[in-house]
Amino acid sequence: MRAWLEEGMPLSYWIPGFFFPQGFKTAALQMHARANGLEIDKLTFKTNVLSGLVETITEAPELGVMVHGNYIEGAKWDYKKKMVEDMDYKIAIS
């Protein structure tokens, strides 16, 4: 939080770092609604998965926010097809 104050808002937010990520999502909707004169109750999220590492991000998006560190339980992300797929069964992750 101190870095946000001293250096400005980050280009991408590490979503697992928030105790209450729903509040962050609501704040993102509220910022967009106020900037564009829209009703927050009529807004929804659209998610785009970007390829590449968070370290390669050079600028913030014009609209919305970028987040990283999302986890999927019970499924896996296929990087080639860019979609969620069934998880590999009987593979232990340690």
**8, 2 in Cβ contact below 8 A?**
no
- DSSP designation for 34: H
Q: What is the pLDDT of residue 92?
A: 66
Burial class (CB in 10 A: 0-12, 13-18, 19+), 43: middle
Number of continuous H segments (helices) and E segments (strands) in the chain = 2, 4
The tens-digit pLDDT sequence of the chain (94 residues) is 788 889 888 899 999 988 998 999 999 999 999 999 999 999 998 888 887 788 888 988 888 899 998 888 888 888 888 889 998 887 766 5
Whole-angstrom Cα distance, residue 24 to residue 35? 17
For the chain, how big is the Rg over CA atoms in Å? 16
Where exactly are the structural domains of the chain? Answer: 2-86
